Amino acid sequence: MIDNQDSTAQKHIMYMKQALAEAGKAFLLGEVPVGAVVVLDDVIIGRGHNLRETMQDGSAHAEIVALRQAAASQKDWRLSGSSIYTTVEPCPMCAGALLMFRVENLIYGVKDPKAGAVDSLIDIVRDTRFNHQVKVVSGVLEEECKAIIQKFFQQLRKKEEN
């Protein structure tokens, strides 16, 4: 018999791999490699990766792109019961969007000590002053999520040196 915790951990890994695939798309575009997927009833209903440079849109973060796609697929801005998997801890804008879209669960890979608004700088998603809170799981495929970010910035620094 499969332990329910093992089953949940396996799901988290499976969906985080999908988010990492989205981060890879951003990497290839020269965007900061962050990826996200939104899951409802074990189906991915939204995918996104950073597109800020491509779209010249400061709100085109992976999470926002994925949430917009998910809402369009459901024909409802309320994504109650959904989970979002993102490779990096959400910033204040994205953490706020999780509340506004009524996302139930946030699963992320690596903390963002400079802009993280869940565990690093502030905690927007669990603040009881809001009318909605989000459950959080962190550290899923943390090393893989960290590695793609580090590789991106190492390459960027090398380009700037030349």
Check if 144 is active-site: no
**Annotated active-site residue in 22, 31, 53, 63:** 63
Residue 15 · residue 37 · CB < 8 Å? yes
Residue type, 114: K
b/e per residue, 49-84, with b = 16+ CB within 10 A?
A: bbbbeeeeeeebbbbbbbbbbbbeebeeeebeebbb
Token pair 């963002």: residue: 112
In 7-144, the DSSP E strands lie at 35-40, 43-49, 83-88, 105-110, 135-138
Listed residue (145, 106, 116, 142) closest to 21, CA to CA: 145
Residue 140 · residue 12 · CB < 8 Å? yes
**Any idea which residues carry the catalytic annotation?**
63
